[in-house]
Structure 1
Amino acid sequence: MVYQFPHKTGQYIVEIIEEKGDQLLVKVLAVLKHPRQGDLHNPNEVENVFFHERKALSQFEKRYTTAQFLKAYQSEVPNYIDSLKQSLYELEEKMKQRNNAYSLQALKCIEQLKVDYEQQYKTNF
């Protein structure tokens, strides 16, 4: 069975691979929503904050969580790289539409993420 798993500001499709008490070890299969860029504690801010470049969890990356954060995923699981591209393009389009200081900084991060992902996954973004 596969699940939706929120991690920071991203959303992933995962499967449980191990249980230790109330802790579940999950493995990332696909990306539903790419993490937001910037400071999580000061969303949409660029002044006087450290603006973080945030990557999506990698294919097959593992994380511990609890059952309360997992929600059954009923649809077909997409290919990881295709889902990563789609989620990044959706975030990029959203930032292009905003056209403010935050979105301009986020777009710079997204451009660098494309370069990083191309090297990591050996595909064009």
Structure 2
Amino acid sequence: MTLEMGSVVKARYKTGTYVGSIKEERGKFYLVEILAVLKHPQQGDLHHPKETEDVFFHERRALAQNEKANIPKTAVSAYTNTVPEYSDSLRTAVQQLKHDLKEQPSSRYQELALANVETLEKDYFK
């Protein structure tokens, strides 16, 4: 399936997954405008997942509604489901991330990640 300008797509960006619309083709990338969040980004250091020692533990926000991101074409595919409303999709993605973290064995990573997600949640939904 060929993706064209305006196509609704599923796009993986860093550790998050989004629904977006293709705005431009840029060589090996698409410029994608974010419409919804399917999976909230993981917390912490992208290069050292789930580690807390000797790394900078990042608070990772989801891309904002209508934010545009350059996403490799290999991380973009057609999206055929109904596009959820952004704030509802963000709330669902945050709840899923919190649930997944709470299911993990207790660790320093889990503690820091949950604290980040709770801070983000307060900021997102104030």
TM range (shorter): 0.7 to 0.9
Q: Contact 2:13–2:75 (CA<8 Å) still a contact in 1? A: no
Partner of residue 108 from structure 1, selected from 112, 115, 126: 115
Residues 27-66 of structure 1: pairs in structure 2 closer than 5 A: 27-66=33-72
Q: What amino acid is the match of 1:116?
A: D
Q: Spell out, residue by residue over 1:65-112, the C-alpha distance to the aligned partner (whole angstroms, 9 max, x if none).
A: 343321111111000000001011000011111122111110000111
- Quick one: structure 1 residues 47 and 3, their matched pair in 2 at CA, closer, same or farther if it must change by over 3 Å? same
Correspondence for 2:22: 16
CA-atom RMSD in angstroms: 1.4
Q: Partners in 1 of 2:22 and 2:77 — Cα distance?
A: 12
Three-state SS of the structure 2 residue aligned to 1:18 is: strand
Q: How many residues align?
A: 119
Cα distance, 1:19 vs structure 2:
3.1
CA distance, structure 1, for counterparts of residue 111 and residue 99 of structure 2: 12
- Quick one: distance in 1 between partners of 2:14 and 2:71? 12
Identity of paired residues, percent? Answer: 45
Structure 2 CA distance for aligned equivalents of residues 21 and 50 of structure 1: 32
Comparing both structures, which one devotes a greater share of its residues to helix? 1
Whichever residue aligns with residue 113 of structure 1, its letter is: L
Secondary structure of 2:125's match? Answer: helix
TM-score (norm: length of structure 2): 0.87
Pairing partner for 2:100 from 94, 100, 121: 94
Partner of 2:3: none
Q: How big is the shift at 1:64?
A: 1.9
